[in-house]
A and B are shown apart, each in its own frame.
Chain A
C-alpha cells in the first residue's frame, strides 16, 4: 500500500504558539489529503479535505483560521495549529486517497501527537 509520513511524530509547545504538522505522500502523488483529529479513546473526526492547489474544505465546526491547511504540492500537505491552546492537544492524523476501481482507499499517516502546555 501507499506510504504516508507525518512530521513530527510528537510535539510539545507552549500555549499561544503555532505548530506546523507535515503530511507527505512518499510513493504517489496525492491530489486529495484528509486531516483528522482523534481525542483519547475516541474515533477520528474529519477536520478538512486538503486539495492540491486550492483552498481546503473544512468540516462544520472546524475553525479555518485556527487550523490552517496548505497543500502546495502533490506530495505535501501541512496543518498549522495557530495560537495553540491546551484544548488543541490531540492526535492529528492525515490520510491520502488512492483512486482505484470501485472504491477509493485511504492510507493513513502514523499521526502526530500534539501537547499544548
Chain B
C-alpha cells in the first residue's frame, strides 16, 4: 500500500501569513492527490483535487501543486476561518496524518 506523510504535523501562523503544507507519497501517484479541510466536529471538505485544481466555491487563496511523490498546499493569506486540520489523500484511498493549523 502507498503511504502518505505530511509536514509539519502542526503549525501556528498569523492572519495574513502565507502557509505551506507538504505531503509526500511513498511512491509515484502521478497527480492523484486531493486536499481536504476538516474543522472540529465536522466532515472534511474538498479543497483541491488532482493536485492543483481548485474545487468549486473554495477561495482562491488556496492552491495546490506537485506531481509524482511531492505535493504542497498553500494558503496565500491565512484567514481566521482557516483554523482547521488539513489532510492530503492519494486518489480515493490513503489519507495523510493531517496538519493542524492554529491561528496565532
Q: Are A and B a genuine interacting pair, yes or no? A: no
Residues of A within 8 A of B (CB): none
Residues of B within 8 A of A (CB): none
